[in-house]
Amino acid sequence: MDSRPRGTDAPAGAAAKGDAEITRPRNDKRGYRRVVLPNALECLLVSDPDTDKAAASMNVSVGYFCDPEGLPGLAHFLEHMLFYASEKYPTEDDYSKYIAEHGGSTNAFTSREHTNFFFDVNNDSLDDALDRFAQFFIKPLMSPDATLREVNAVDSENKKNLLSDLWRMNQLQKHICSERHPYHKFSTGNRDTLLVNPNKDGLDTLDELIKFYNSHYSANLMQLVVYGKESLDNLQTLVENKFSDVRNTGRERFSFHGHPCSSEHLQILVKAVPIKEGHTLRILWPITPNIQHYKEGPCNYVSHLVGHEGEGSLFYVLKNLGWAMSLGAWEGDWSYEFSFFSVVIRLTDVGNEHMEDIIGLLFRYIALLQTSGTHKWIFDELLAIHETGFHYRDKNPPMYYVVDISSNMQIFPPKDWLIGSSVPSKFSPDAIQSILNDLTPDNVRIFWESKKFEGQTNLTEPWYGTSYSVEAVTPSIIQKWVNKAPMAVDLHVPKPNIFIPSDLSLKNVEEKGNFPFMLRKTLFSRVWYKPDTMFFTPKAYVKMDFQCPLSCSSPESTVLTDMFTRLLMDYLNDFAYDAQVAGLYYTVRPNDTGFQITMVGYNDKMRALMDTVIGKIAEFEVKFDRFAVIKETIIKEYENFKFRQPYEQALYYCSLILEEQTWAWDEKLAAVCHIEANDLQNFLPHLLGKTFIECYFAGNMQPSEAEGVVQHVEDTLFNAPISFCKALSPSQHLAKRIVKLEKGLRYYYPALCLNHQDEKNSSLLHYIQIHQDDLKQNVLLELLILVAKQPAFHQLRSVEQLGYITMLRQRNDSGVRGLQFIIQSTVKDPSNMDARVEAFLKMFEEILYQMPNEEFKSNVKSLIDMKLEKYKNIREESAFFWKEISEGTLNFDRKEAEVALLRDLNKEELIEFFNNHVKVNAPQKKILSIQVYGGLHSSEYERTVHDEPQPHSYQITDISSFRRSRPLYSSFKGGVGQMKL
């Protein structure tokens, strides 16, 4: 039986409701109602009169733990199959097509003990969308043909993961556990486990699917969340009408007692060979699951201390020793019955030689926590942070919100469905001490990943082929490591967090308006300001874009700018880590024209953090020891570039070809290898020697505060007695410009997959460049993609089974727009995939030409609804306005103007747009085909490279030469006065 806390059951024959018991954020104006249908399906209804999108999520309390013997991946495969068709809607892909055509999206995932299906859709389409969705759980159709085809999709999904260290190490941890526990299982499935092997054993996969569905998909094991604009009463009627026919077999929820690890799986050191360069230590302990004491939150407390990065923390010590790049601590892989506490440390090369010392310091710090007692002030700090976070949390898109809640419904009583375990409120020293007492050498599991173990291992994990070895690590061995670890280090608990907000009041701002306006302009900076007229939370958003022409003038300067920002973040971490903990997030990152400072979160302490960041820039000095670590990190990242998925490599090549001034990863790798600390110290005055700062301030901040911040920045960097920052002259302002492809030509760039281990996966990016930012053309392109997206997915992925990754989406390079097909395949080479894209476009012609006028109007309305969708939070709003500022278009009313154009659009204009720009052999068509060939298709690569190009085709053999030979689109972004280049 399931022993978790639950809500009361519904009386037989009537829907039960209870809507007063759910803890909600103080600023949450939505209505909530719990309903249990007569079939025992538990539902939460969410009424939000302000929402632009409706959404639903069905959580089914069955996952891959329930996979039958001999059929690994069956639960995941069933998740795929339920999307195909139903008795009520027998046309294949009807559900996904309806959702896509009505402004929505849909997905699902399978985990250990649950499978979650979800979608969002435009408000007025919720009724019909729910009707289709409900059929997943009433009478789905699973045909033999669809079964055979979708096995290939699951197989492609698995092959995509085979060279991912995340998937490989996760499966290795599961593999070294009891074979009798379902945690040991292979969750994804592949063609062998779902088709070949079952057939050998006389099993019919379709029969097993239906048997599994009938056995496990029972209404009493489901939790549904429906989110919409309607009243709670109307939502309840909708849910009762749609979901009352879901069958209740009275099936008890499976529970899996006991821990996956027995004594033979503890006190072990596992050495594993990863795919990527780098060294990682994963230290795990089986613990009592936090969920059993979620009100006390012992794991929150322990992970906060073990994972802390401020002064006195374990990471602080390891970083200063030059041994660690990052450290994280959390409860992972948890269920109600078992759990692991994990500490994951990314090591430097030097740190990899000091593994024993690092483990020794970790256990020394844990011993400090075990013996020093629990501190109520630390618990109270965490409580204040989590309470504030809950009550002032941003609105999320409804689809993500319903998934979170439906997942919580499987675990928590109704009162905690929204809050979950996010706000532990009861201080329990005993519960905390209990977790700390579990973190001993007696039950530790250490996984050590490094390519240095190649040739030193004697075992292979069966599903992903990871090479590894296992050796015993007794408590006495670990005690020796503790004793010999460096003694002259100061480990202690963190100091009080000065960034916890104390002033959460809302500022009274006289300026009102829906768009940003220019607040201030000098030779050094320009300030855009947007008052908060929508969210009314004590949060602000700040962006400072330092435009430095030298930053991207060569591969060396690009790398040096990257190093500078990383070192700046590194120096800030000791002090400003607490800001992130307290909900004030910041980052300093390089971009195409220099570097950016971004801050978002509670405004109360934002000025103090900003002044610190600017101060660190003004007094920046290169610390040789930290420079060495950052250099090593960057080198490894560039070396690991070749291990990216083939479709990601295709996206990279496309950007490299189209963007005027970008540098290839191997050029940057060559540059970073010979850069030394003195080079960076000498570079910085030149980098900032010519600078202009574009600023954006929004949220709970008065205009005078924004002006004060920027004046302080100018005084510190430009007006100080000794300053190397100088104003940028108008002629030096940078603008990112894009290659203009030639009409009537098909350019193609064939390349071998950089990862020679990836034998199976090849990829195609088929890009059609259309126009530079133009409101009418924009809406025609977006409408065309809306209409074509689902037919493309259905034809290329579901019918032709080219590969799991199959996408059609818009591409926008600094305002130059087009559409791109992205496909990753194990069955077709890129040239063949290119032909399939062309064949699809020919097939799509008929779909477009024959589209009824009512369907056209419905698609237009869906796009209008999508454009009128309100921003959920200050990040979303700021991202839109900042894009207009950074690209120089300044069309702050873009959405309203495009909606006005859409209202007047007719079907003939869309057909004309398609015929001119997208149709096969269209006169104005401009194609760029990026083809990444895996080892399986190397002979096809040789043929493509050496064959004569077809008529009107041009093979790109040298990217730099090609870029130099092509004209460029003009830029919307000029100097301070926004002149067009």
The two structure tokens encoding residue 722: 């000794």
| CA separation, residue 742 to residues 766, 852, 964 (Å) | 15, 34, 14
State the burial class of residue 225 (Cβ atoms within 10 Å of its Cβ: 0-12, 13-18, 19+): buried
> b/e per residue, 155-191, with b = 16+ CB within 10 A?
bbbbbbbbbebebbbbbbbbbbbeeebbbebbbbbbb
| CA separation, residue 349 to residues 324, 367, 630, 636 (Å) | 9, 27, 12, 10
Among 42, 79, 157, 632, the active-site one is 79
Three-state secondary structure readout of 36-102: ECCCCCEEEEEECCCCCEEEEEEEECCCHHHCCCCCCCHHHHHHHHCCCEECCCCCCCHHHHHHHHC
Among 42, 113, 150, 461, the active-site one is 150
The helix, strand and coil proportions of the chain, stated in percent and rounded to the nearest 5, come to: 45, 20, 35
CB atoms within 10 A of CB 723: 14
Instruction: Let me know if 21 is a catalytic residue.
Output: no
Is the dihedral angle over the CA atoms 108, 109, 115, 120 positive or is it negative?
negative
Distance (Å, rounded) from C-alpha 96 to C-alpha 813? 29
The two structure tokens encoding residue 791: 């037919």
In 565-712, DSSP assigns E strands to: 584-591, 594-602, 692-699
Distance (Å, rounded) from C-alpha 832 to C-alpha 802? 10
The two structure tokens encoding residue 362: 């970790």
Instruction: Let me know if 150 is a catalytic residue.
Output: yes
| First-to-final CA distance of the chain | 70
CB atoms within 10 A of CB 694: 23
Q: What is the DSSP string of 451-464?
A: GGGTTS--EE-TTT
Q: What is the DSSP string of 589-604?
A: EEETTEEEEEEEEEST
Q: How many CA atoms lie within 13 A of 754 on its CB side?
A: 18
Q: Using CA atoms of 519, 522, 526, 529 in order, give the dihedral in degrees to the nearest 10.
A: -10
Catalytic residues, by residue number, are 79, 150
